[in-house]
Amino acid sequence: MNKLQLKRYAKLLAKTGVNVRKGQTVVVQAELDQPEFVEYVVEELYRAGAGKVTVEWSHQPLAAVHYKYQKQASLEKFEKWELEKLEYGANALPAKLYLESADPDGLSGIDQEKFTAVRSARTKVIKPYRDRMENRYQWCIAAVPGKAWAKKVFPSLNVNAAVEKLWDAILSASRADGADPVREWHRHNDALAQRCDYLNRLKLVALEYKSANGTEFRVGLIENSRFCGGGEETVDGAYFNPNIPSEEIFISPKAGEAEGIVYSTKPLSYQGELIENFSVRFAGGKVVEVKAEKNQALLEKMISMDEGAAMLGECALIAYDSPINNSGILFYNTLFDENASCHLALGRGFNECIKGYENMTLEEIRERGINDSLIHVDFMIGSKDLDIVGVTKSGERIQIFKDGNWAI
Protein backbone atom coordinates (compact mmCIF):
# COMPACT_ATOMS: atom_id res chain seq x y z
CA MET A 1 0.00 0.00 0.00
CA ASN A 2 1.23 3.47 -0.93
CA LYS A 3 2.69 5.03 2.24
CA LEU A 4 1.78 8.55 1.14
CA GLN A 5 -1.89 7.55 0.87
CA LEU A 6 -1.82 5.88 4.27
CA LYS A 7 -0.36 9.04 5.78
CA ARG A 8 -3.17 11.04 4.17
CA TYR A 9 -5.64 8.63 5.77
CA ALA A 10 -3.90 9.04 9.13
CA LYS A 11 -4.14 12.83 8.76
CA LEU A 12 -7.85 12.51 8.00
CA LEU A 13 -8.44 10.53 11.20
CA ALA A 14 -6.44 13.01 13.28
CA LYS A 15 -7.79 16.27 11.84
CA THR A 16 -11.29 15.37 10.65
CA GLY A 17 -12.16 12.27 12.67
CA VAL A 18 -10.96 13.13 16.16
CA ASN A 19 -10.18 16.76 15.23
CA VAL A 20 -7.73 16.95 18.11
CA ARG A 21 -7.40 20.28 19.93
CA LYS A 22 -4.13 21.89 20.96
CA GLY A 23 -2.65 20.22 24.01
CA GLN A 24 -5.36 17.55 24.17
CA THR A 25 -4.73 13.99 25.38
CA VAL A 26 -5.68 11.28 22.89
CA VAL A 27 -6.12 7.53 23.43
CA VAL A 28 -5.78 5.23 20.40
CA GLN A 29 -7.18 1.71 20.68
CA ALA A 30 -5.92 -0.77 18.09
CA GLU A 31 -5.33 -4.45 17.44
CA LEU A 32 -1.83 -5.68 16.52
CA ASP A 33 -2.54 -5.87 12.78
CA GLN A 34 -1.12 -2.57 11.45
CA PRO A 35 1.48 -1.16 13.87
CA GLU A 36 3.15 0.92 11.15
CA PHE A 37 -0.11 2.69 10.40
CA VAL A 38 -0.65 3.31 14.11
CA GLU A 39 2.74 5.08 14.07
CA TYR A 40 1.49 7.31 11.24
CA VAL A 41 -1.68 8.12 13.20
CA VAL A 42 0.20 8.96 16.39
CA GLU A 43 2.51 11.29 14.49
CA GLU A 44 -0.40 13.01 12.77
CA LEU A 45 -2.16 13.47 16.10
CA TYR A 46 0.90 15.20 17.48
CA ARG A 47 1.25 17.32 14.35
CA ALA A 48 -2.40 18.33 14.76
CA GLY A 49 -1.68 19.59 18.28
CA ALA A 50 -2.10 16.65 20.67
CA GLY A 51 -0.26 17.07 23.96
CA LYS A 52 -0.04 13.35 24.74
CA VAL A 53 -1.03 10.24 22.77
CA THR A 54 -1.41 6.82 24.40
CA VAL A 55 -1.86 3.62 22.41
CA GLU A 56 -3.79 0.75 23.99
CA TRP A 57 -3.15 -2.51 22.15
CA SER A 58 -5.46 -5.52 22.10
CA HIS A 59 -5.41 -8.93 20.41
CA GLN A 60 -8.64 -10.78 19.68
CA PRO A 61 -7.14 -14.32 19.90
CA LEU A 62 -6.03 -13.52 23.45
CA ALA A 63 -9.60 -12.54 24.33
CA ALA A 64 -10.71 -15.99 23.16
CA VAL A 65 -8.04 -17.62 25.35
CA HIS A 66 -9.14 -15.61 28.39
CA TYR A 67 -12.76 -16.65 27.89
CA LYS A 68 -11.74 -20.26 27.51
CA TYR A 69 -9.71 -20.52 30.71
CA GLN A 70 -10.80 -17.79 33.15
CA LYS A 71 -13.75 -18.34 35.43
CA GLN A 72 -16.77 -16.13 34.84
CA ALA A 73 -16.41 -14.36 38.20
CA SER A 74 -12.81 -13.47 37.38
CA LEU A 75 -13.76 -12.09 33.97
CA GLU A 76 -16.54 -9.99 35.46
CA LYS A 77 -14.43 -8.49 38.22
CA PHE A 78 -13.05 -4.96 37.92
CA GLU A 79 -9.69 -4.40 39.55
CA LYS A 80 -9.13 -1.17 41.45
CA TRP A 81 -6.88 0.23 38.72
CA GLU A 82 -9.56 -0.45 36.09
CA LEU A 83 -12.11 1.59 38.03
CA GLU A 84 -9.55 4.34 38.51
CA LYS A 85 -8.97 4.34 34.76
CA LEU A 86 -12.70 4.69 34.10
CA GLU A 87 -12.87 7.57 36.58
CA TYR A 88 -9.91 9.25 34.90
CA GLY A 89 -11.60 8.99 31.50
CA ALA A 90 -14.86 10.47 32.79
CA ASN A 91 -13.00 13.39 34.36
CA ALA A 92 -10.17 14.09 31.88
CA LEU A 93 -12.24 13.36 28.73
CA PRO A 94 -9.37 12.37 26.41
CA ALA A 95 -10.24 12.18 22.73
CA LYS A 96 -10.45 8.58 21.51
CA LEU A 97 -9.64 6.92 18.21
CA TYR A 98 -10.71 3.31 17.70
CA LEU A 99 -9.07 1.37 14.85
CA GLU A 100 -11.04 -1.77 14.01
CA SER A 101 -9.41 -4.78 12.33
CA ALA A 102 -10.70 -7.84 14.18
CA ASP A 103 -11.78 -11.12 12.56
CA PRO A 104 -15.61 -11.16 12.17
CA ASP A 105 -15.54 -14.83 13.23
CA GLY A 106 -12.74 -14.41 15.75
CA LEU A 107 -14.75 -15.39 18.82
CA SER A 108 -16.73 -18.15 17.15
CA GLY A 109 -16.81 -21.26 19.29
CA ILE A 110 -16.41 -19.64 22.69
CA ASP A 111 -19.05 -20.14 25.39
CA GLN A 112 -21.61 -17.51 24.35
CA GLU A 113 -23.59 -17.88 27.60
CA LYS A 114 -20.46 -16.99 29.52
CA PHE A 115 -19.49 -14.21 27.10
CA THR A 116 -22.94 -12.59 27.26
CA ALA A 117 -23.08 -12.76 31.05
CA VAL A 118 -19.61 -11.25 31.41
CA ARG A 119 -20.30 -8.51 28.89
CA SER A 120 -23.57 -7.62 30.59
CA ALA A 121 -21.97 -7.49 34.05
CA ARG A 122 -19.02 -5.37 32.92
CA THR A 123 -21.15 -3.02 30.82
CA LYS A 124 -23.36 -2.28 33.82
CA VAL A 125 -20.28 -1.06 35.68
CA ILE A 126 -18.96 0.92 32.70
CA LYS A 127 -22.27 2.56 31.77
CA PRO A 128 -22.40 5.28 34.47
CA TYR A 129 -18.94 6.46 33.42
CA ARG A 130 -19.97 6.40 29.77
CA ASP A 131 -23.11 8.38 30.56
CA ARG A 132 -20.98 11.05 32.24
CA MET A 133 -18.81 11.30 29.11
CA GLU A 134 -21.66 11.30 26.59
CA ASN A 135 -21.46 14.25 24.16
CA ARG A 136 -18.53 15.71 26.09
CA TYR A 137 -15.51 14.36 24.18
CA GLN A 138 -14.40 13.73 20.60
CA TRP A 139 -14.17 10.18 19.32
CA CYS A 140 -13.84 8.40 16.01
CA ILE A 141 -14.15 4.79 14.85
CA ALA A 142 -12.24 3.84 11.69
CA ALA A 143 -10.65 0.68 10.32
CA VAL A 144 -7.44 -0.94 9.12
CA PRO A 145 -7.10 -4.44 7.62
CA GLY A 146 -6.45 -7.52 9.70
CA LYS A 147 -5.28 -10.69 7.97
CA ALA A 148 -8.22 -12.86 9.10
CA TRP A 149 -10.71 -10.10 8.27
CA ALA A 150 -9.16 -9.62 4.83
CA LYS A 151 -9.39 -13.34 4.07
CA LYS A 152 -13.03 -13.34 5.16
CA VAL A 153 -13.82 -10.55 2.71
CA PHE A 154 -11.62 -11.85 -0.12
CA PRO A 155 -11.36 -15.63 0.42
CA SER A 156 -9.97 -16.42 -3.06
CA LEU A 157 -6.84 -14.28 -2.58
CA ASN A 158 -3.69 -15.09 -0.65
CA VAL A 159 -3.26 -13.25 2.64
CA ASN A 160 -1.01 -10.45 1.38
CA ALA A 161 -3.16 -9.77 -1.67
CA ALA A 162 -6.34 -9.85 0.47
CA VAL A 163 -4.88 -7.32 2.94
CA GLU A 164 -3.85 -5.04 0.07
CA LYS A 165 -7.30 -5.26 -1.50
CA LEU A 166 -9.00 -4.58 1.84
CA TRP A 167 -6.78 -1.52 2.28
CA ASP A 168 -8.01 -0.28 -1.10
CA ALA A 169 -11.63 -0.92 -0.11
CA ILE A 170 -11.28 0.83 3.26
CA LEU A 171 -9.66 3.91 1.76
CA SER A 172 -12.23 4.11 -1.04
CA ALA A 173 -15.20 3.72 1.33
CA SER A 174 -13.64 6.28 3.69
CA ARG A 175 -13.19 8.87 0.92
CA ALA A 176 -9.49 8.69 1.70
CA ASP A 177 -8.13 7.46 -1.64
CA GLY A 178 -7.63 10.91 -3.21
CA ALA A 179 -5.07 13.69 -2.92
CA ASP A 180 -6.91 15.59 -0.16
CA PRO A 181 -9.24 13.43 2.00
CA VAL A 182 -9.72 16.25 4.52
CA ARG A 183 -11.16 18.53 1.81
CA GLU A 184 -13.37 15.70 0.49
CA TRP A 185 -14.83 15.25 3.98
CA HIS A 186 -15.60 18.95 4.27
CA ARG A 187 -17.67 18.65 1.08
CA HIS A 188 -19.30 15.41 2.24
CA ASN A 189 -20.27 16.87 5.62
CA ASP A 190 -21.77 19.92 3.92
CA ALA A 191 -23.96 17.68 1.73
CA LEU A 192 -25.13 15.62 4.72
CA ALA A 193 -25.91 18.80 6.69
CA GLN A 194 -28.07 20.16 3.86
CA ARG A 195 -30.11 16.96 3.75
CA CYS A 196 -30.54 16.99 7.53
CA ASP A 197 -31.79 20.58 7.38
CA TYR A 198 -34.42 19.64 4.79
CA LEU A 199 -35.68 16.66 6.77
CA ASN A 200 -35.82 18.65 10.00
CA ARG A 201 -37.99 21.30 8.37
CA LEU A 202 -40.61 18.62 7.63
CA LYS A 203 -41.22 18.03 11.38
CA LEU A 204 -42.09 14.37 10.90
CA VAL A 205 -43.84 12.35 13.59
CA ALA A 206 -43.39 8.88 12.08
CA LEU A 207 -41.56 6.86 9.43
CA GLU A 208 -43.13 3.97 7.52
CA TYR A 209 -41.03 1.31 5.77
CA LYS A 210 -42.06 -1.20 3.13
CA SER A 211 -40.11 -3.65 0.96
CA ALA A 212 -40.92 -6.68 -1.19
CA ASN A 213 -38.84 -8.90 1.14
CA GLY A 214 -41.61 -8.59 3.74
CA THR A 215 -40.51 -5.50 5.63
CA GLU A 216 -43.58 -3.54 6.71
CA PHE A 217 -42.90 -1.32 9.66
CA ARG A 218 -43.86 1.97 11.33
CA VAL A 219 -41.87 3.83 13.97
CA GLY A 220 -42.82 6.97 15.89
CA LEU A 221 -40.55 9.99 16.23
CA ILE A 222 -40.07 12.30 19.20
CA GLU A 223 -41.51 15.80 19.10
CA ASN A 224 -38.73 18.37 18.53
CA SER A 225 -36.23 15.65 17.65
CA ARG A 226 -33.84 16.12 14.77
CA PHE A 227 -32.03 14.22 12.06
CA CYS A 228 -28.24 14.29 12.29
CA GLY A 229 -25.43 13.13 10.02
CA GLY A 230 -21.71 13.41 9.42
CA GLY A 231 -19.83 15.63 11.85
CA GLU A 232 -21.06 16.29 15.37
CA GLU A 233 -20.23 18.74 18.16
CA THR A 234 -19.56 18.20 21.83
CA VAL A 235 -21.55 20.29 24.28
CA ASP A 236 -18.66 22.78 24.39
CA GLY A 237 -18.49 23.10 20.60
CA ALA A 238 -15.68 20.72 19.57
CA TYR A 239 -16.45 19.40 16.07
CA PHE A 240 -15.55 15.79 15.18
CA ASN A 241 -16.61 12.89 12.95
CA PRO A 242 -17.50 9.80 15.01
CA ASN A 243 -17.52 7.37 12.09
CA ILE A 244 -15.22 7.18 9.08
CA PRO A 245 -16.76 6.10 6.76
CA SER A 246 -20.27 7.52 7.19
CA GLU A 247 -23.05 7.94 4.64
CA GLU A 248 -25.99 8.07 7.02
CA ILE A 249 -28.63 10.53 8.09
CA PHE A 250 -29.99 9.26 11.40
CA ILE A 251 -32.52 9.98 14.10
CA SER A 252 -33.41 8.33 17.42
CA PRO A 253 -37.08 7.28 17.33
CA LYS A 254 -39.45 7.36 20.27
CA ALA A 255 -38.91 4.40 22.57
CA GLY A 256 -41.98 2.21 22.69
CA GLU A 257 -43.50 3.29 19.36
CA ALA A 258 -42.71 0.62 16.76
CA GLU A 259 -45.01 -1.82 14.97
CA GLY A 260 -44.44 -4.41 12.25
CA ILE A 261 -41.62 -6.56 10.92
CA VAL A 262 -38.25 -5.86 9.32
CA TYR A 263 -35.94 -8.25 7.44
CA SER A 264 -32.17 -8.03 7.46
CA THR A 265 -30.39 -7.56 4.14
CA LYS A 266 -26.82 -8.18 5.35
CA PRO A 267 -25.26 -10.40 8.04
CA LEU A 268 -24.74 -8.91 11.50
CA SER A 269 -21.35 -9.38 13.19
CA TYR A 270 -22.05 -9.52 16.93
CA GLN A 271 -19.75 -10.69 19.72
CA GLY A 272 -17.34 -12.21 17.20
CA GLU A 273 -20.00 -14.29 15.42
CA LEU A 274 -22.27 -13.74 12.42
CA ILE A 275 -26.06 -13.64 12.64
CA GLU A 276 -27.49 -14.23 9.17
CA ASN A 277 -30.82 -13.98 7.32
CA PHE A 278 -32.93 -12.78 10.21
CA SER A 279 -36.14 -10.90 10.89
CA VAL A 280 -37.29 -8.79 13.83
CA ARG A 281 -40.96 -8.30 14.71
CA PHE A 282 -42.16 -5.36 16.85
CA ALA A 283 -45.42 -4.90 18.74
CA GLY A 284 -46.16 -2.22 21.29
CA GLY A 285 -42.77 -0.68 20.62
CA LYS A 286 -40.75 -3.77 21.58
CA VAL A 287 -39.29 -6.80 19.83
CA VAL A 288 -41.66 -9.70 20.33
CA GLU A 289 -40.10 -12.22 17.94
CA VAL A 290 -36.82 -12.82 16.12
CA LYS A 291 -35.96 -15.50 13.59
CA ALA A 292 -32.56 -16.23 12.07
CA GLU A 293 -31.14 -18.93 9.80
CA LYS A 294 -27.84 -18.71 11.70
CA ASN A 295 -27.27 -17.83 15.38
CA GLN A 296 -30.89 -17.19 16.34
CA ALA A 297 -30.05 -17.97 19.98
CA LEU A 298 -27.38 -15.26 19.96
CA LEU A 299 -29.89 -12.76 18.56
CA GLU A 300 -32.37 -13.72 21.27
CA LYS A 301 -29.74 -13.17 23.95
CA MET A 302 -28.91 -9.79 22.47
CA ILE A 303 -32.46 -8.45 22.72
CA SER A 304 -32.81 -9.73 26.29
CA MET A 305 -29.67 -7.94 27.56
CA ASP A 306 -31.93 -5.42 29.32
CA GLU A 307 -35.34 -3.80 28.84
CA GLY A 308 -34.06 -1.25 26.33
CA ALA A 309 -32.30 -3.87 24.19
CA ALA A 310 -35.66 -4.86 22.70
CA MET A 311 -36.47 -1.28 21.61
CA LEU A 312 -35.07 0.93 18.89
CA GLY A 313 -32.38 3.55 19.40
CA GLU A 314 -31.76 4.62 15.82
CA CYS A 315 -33.24 4.84 12.33
CA ALA A 316 -30.55 5.56 9.71
CA LEU A 317 -31.20 6.55 6.12
CA ILE A 318 -28.61 5.67 3.45
CA ALA A 319 -29.22 5.42 -0.28
CA TYR A 320 -29.03 1.91 -1.75
CA ASP A 321 -27.04 3.61 -4.52
CA SER A 322 -24.26 4.39 -2.00
CA PRO A 323 -20.50 4.14 -2.62
CA ILE A 324 -20.13 1.20 -0.24
CA ASN A 325 -23.07 -0.74 -1.65
CA ASN A 326 -21.95 -0.01 -5.21
CA SER A 327 -18.54 -1.50 -4.42
CA GLY A 328 -20.21 -4.91 -4.24
CA ILE A 329 -18.12 -5.76 -1.18
CA LEU A 330 -19.63 -7.35 1.91
CA PHE A 331 -17.28 -6.20 4.68
CA TYR A 332 -18.69 -8.34 7.52
CA ASN A 333 -18.08 -5.26 9.64
CA THR A 334 -20.88 -3.02 10.90
CA LEU A 335 -18.90 0.20 10.44
CA PHE A 336 -18.95 -0.38 6.68
CA ASP A 337 -22.00 -2.54 6.06
CA GLU A 338 -24.29 -0.18 8.01
CA ASN A 339 -23.24 2.58 5.59
CA ALA A 340 -24.14 0.57 2.52
CA SER A 341 -27.90 1.12 2.88
CA CYS A 342 -30.59 1.85 5.46
CA HIS A 343 -30.26 0.36 8.91
CA LEU A 344 -31.90 0.30 12.33
CA ALA A 345 -30.27 -0.07 15.73
CA LEU A 346 -31.58 -1.85 18.79
CA GLY A 347 -30.70 -0.38 22.16
CA ARG A 348 -29.35 2.97 23.23
CA GLY A 349 -30.40 6.13 21.40
CA PHE A 350 -28.54 9.38 20.81
CA ASN A 351 -29.02 12.36 23.12
CA GLU A 352 -28.06 14.81 20.37
CA CYS A 353 -31.17 13.87 18.39
CA ILE A 354 -33.19 16.00 20.83
CA LYS A 355 -33.08 19.73 20.16
CA GLY A 356 -31.63 21.47 23.20
CA TYR A 357 -30.37 18.23 24.76
CA GLU A 358 -27.32 20.05 26.14
CA ASN A 359 -29.61 21.92 28.55
CA MET A 360 -31.37 18.75 29.77
CA THR A 361 -30.50 16.11 32.33
CA LEU A 362 -30.19 12.49 31.25
CA GLU A 363 -33.47 11.77 33.04
CA GLU A 364 -35.23 14.50 31.04
CA ILE A 365 -33.81 13.15 27.79
CA ARG A 366 -35.03 9.63 28.61
CA GLU A 367 -38.46 11.01 29.52
CA ARG A 368 -38.69 12.60 26.10
CA GLY A 369 -38.35 9.14 24.53
CA ILE A 370 -34.65 8.50 23.84
CA ASN A 371 -34.13 4.80 24.53
CA ASP A 372 -31.57 3.65 27.09
CA SER A 373 -29.75 0.32 27.08
CA LEU A 374 -26.43 -1.40 27.66
CA ILE A 375 -26.23 -2.09 23.92
CA HIS A 376 -26.45 -0.25 20.61
CA VAL A 377 -26.43 -2.76 17.73
CA ASP A 378 -26.97 -1.73 14.11
CA PHE A 379 -28.47 -4.11 11.55
CA MET A 380 -29.06 -3.52 7.87
CA ILE A 381 -32.51 -3.45 6.26
CA GLY A 382 -31.87 -1.44 3.07
CA SER A 383 -32.94 -3.03 -0.22
CA LYS A 384 -33.23 -1.91 -3.84
CA ASP A 385 -37.02 -1.56 -3.56
CA LEU A 386 -37.31 -0.13 -0.03
CA ASP A 387 -39.87 2.65 0.27
CA ILE A 388 -39.92 5.01 3.25
CA VAL A 389 -42.72 7.51 3.86
CA GLY A 390 -42.54 10.30 6.42
CA VAL A 391 -45.73 11.31 8.20
CA THR A 392 -46.30 14.85 9.50
CA LYS A 393 -48.40 15.89 12.50
CA SER A 394 -51.21 16.95 10.15
CA GLY A 395 -51.20 13.51 8.51
CA GLU A 396 -49.43 14.55 5.31
CA ARG A 397 -47.41 11.70 3.81
CA ILE A 398 -44.09 12.57 2.18
CA GLN A 399 -42.07 10.10 0.13
CA ILE A 400 -38.58 10.02 1.67
CA PHE A 401 -37.18 6.93 -0.10
CA LYS A 402 -38.35 5.36 -3.35
CA ASP A 403 -36.88 2.10 -4.68
CA GLY A 404 -34.10 2.15 -2.13
CA ASN A 405 -32.89 5.70 -2.82
CA TRP A 406 -33.66 9.25 -1.74
CA ALA A 407 -36.88 10.66 -3.17
CA ILE A 408 -36.16 14.18 -1.89
* Residue range 51-77, pLDDT digits in tens: 999 999 999 999 999 999 999 999 999
pLDDT at 271: 84
Please enumerate in sequence order all residues whose Cβ is within 8 A of that of 377, keeping only pairs 6 or more positions apart, or say none: 268, 270, 302, 334, 345, 346, 347
Which CATH code is given to the segment(s) 3-173? 3.40.1830.10
Given a cut of 90, is residue 272 above it in pLDDT? no
Q: What is the mean pLDDT of the chain?
A: 96
Give the closest residue to 142 by CA, choosing from 99, 201, 78.
99
pLDDT, mean of residues 106-114? 89
Residue 139 CA: distances (Å) to CA of 19, 95, 120, 153, 380:
9, 6, 23, 27, 23
pLDDT, mean of residues 139-147? 98
pLDDT, mean of residues 82-106? 96
Nearest-angstrom CA–CA distance, 380 and 17: 24
What are the domain boundaries of the chain? 3-173, 181-406
The enclosing H or E element of 100 equals strand 95-100
pLDDT, mean of residues 100-107? 93
Given a cut of 90, is residue 27 above it in pLDDT? yes
Are 318 and 265 in contact by the 8 Å Cβ rule? The answer is no
- The pLDDT tens digits for 342-372 are 999 999 999 999 999 999 999 999 999 999 9
pLDDT, mean of residues 141-160? 98
Given a cut of 80, is residue 1 above it in pLDDT? no
Given a cut of 80, is residue 405 above it in pLDDT? yes
Nearest-angstrom CA–CA distance, 144 and 58: 14
- Residue 109 banded pLDDT, cuts 50, 70, 90: confident
pLDDT, mean of residues 304-332? 95
pLDDT, mean of residues 146-173? 98
Nearest-angstrom CA–CA distance, 391 and 376: 26
